[in-house]
């Protein structure tokens, strides 16, 4: 269903937070990602709609895979959409610093997953345990990464490698990582800024669904 809220488009003079309020219903979330926004709670407890001025992406052809990471890809099994709730709850683990993925977020994105818009990549150890993963929202050729976690070394990196494989095979255009971090920078993420991100967003949204063929392979 369409959202009952009309979220703003990011303006040139806006900071990272573009709007406050609304809800996490599927229609609102999809409207947000199509406008270059994503939700995250504010310190005062309100829901904020963010569009970072220093927006970062991971170019699909710019992924850095070290020798040790390449070896790690052989130590795990990888799947897509096999345990979305397990992944988002791993990302929401209260042991993490400044956890922002509340139960409301878990419910909202799990619902979006059931509708086919949110996806997860799971990384499994040799004993069948969930060693790490990532999740995000996919619209056309856009994948908006939301969060990742790991219980074993390099597991989240292996999930990201597999995501890039899925997007490349599916004709993906834009892998949004929101903000730059040292971890993401080491993997090839770059800051392009909000204006450049929004310029690329339209073409990405018009692309094919990158997850149509994502389940054809279980490993990198």
pLDDT at 60: 95
Return the domain boundaries, the chain: 17-50, 56-211
pLDDT at 1: 76
pLDDT at 2: 86
Say if residue 220's pLDDT is above 50: no
Architecture field, domain 56-211? 3-Layer(aba) Sandwich (3.40)
More confident residue, 111 or 220: 111
pLDDT at 97: 56
Give the CA distances from residue 20 to residues 7, 15, 38, 101, in Å, rounded to whole numbers and listed in that order.
9, 12, 11, 17
d(CA 138, CA 59): 16
d(CA 115, CA 173): 22
Contact 9, 44 (CB under 8 A): no
pLDDT at 93: 79
Give the CA distances from residue 81 to residues 24, 94, 156, 181, 201, in Å, rounded to whole numbers and listed in that order.
21, 23, 15, 26, 24
- In this structure, the chain runs to a length of 220
More confident residue, 99 or 98: 99
Condensed to tens digits (0 to 9), the pLDDT of residues 15-60 reads 999 999 999 999 999 999 999 999 999 999 999 999 999 999 999 9
Give SS3 for 158: helix
Say if residue 168's pLDDT is above 90: yes
Between 103-114 and 26-34, two packed helices, what is the crossing angle to 10 degrees?
A: 80
d(CA 30, CA 153): 33
Based on the number of CB atoms within 10 Å of its own CB, is 68 exposed (0-12), middle (13-18) or buried (19 or more)?
exposed
Average of per-residue pLDDT across 54-72? 94
Say if residue 100's pLDDT is above 90: no
Q: What is the pTM of this model?
A: 0.94
């Amino acid at each position: 269903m369409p959202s009952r809220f009309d979220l703003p488009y990011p303006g040139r003079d806006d900071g990272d937070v573009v709007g406050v309020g609304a809800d996490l219903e599927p229609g609102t979330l999809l409207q947000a990602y199509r406008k270059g926004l994503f939700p995250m709670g504010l310190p005062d407890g309100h829901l904020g709609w963010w569009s970072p001025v220093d927006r970062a992406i991971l170019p699909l052809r710019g992924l850095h895979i070290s020798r040790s990471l390449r070896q790690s890809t052989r130590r795990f099994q990888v799947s897509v959409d096999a345990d979305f709730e397990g992944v988002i709850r791993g990302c929401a683990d209260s042991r993490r610093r400044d956890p922002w993925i509340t139960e409301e977020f878990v419910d909202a994105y799990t619902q979006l997953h059931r509708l086919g818009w949110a996806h997860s990549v799971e990384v499994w150890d040799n004993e069948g345990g969930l060693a790490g993963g990532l999740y995000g929202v996919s619209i056309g050729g856009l994948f908006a990464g939301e969060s990742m976690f790991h219980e074993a070394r390099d597991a989240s990196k292996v999930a990201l490698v597999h995501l890039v494989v899925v997007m490349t095979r599916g004709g993906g255009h834009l892998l949004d990582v929101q903000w730059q971090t040292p971890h993401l920078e080491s993997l090839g993420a770059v800051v392009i800024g909000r204006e450049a991100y929004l310029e690329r967003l339209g073409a990405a949204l018009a692309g094919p669904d990158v997850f149509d063929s994502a389940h054809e392979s279980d490993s990198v």
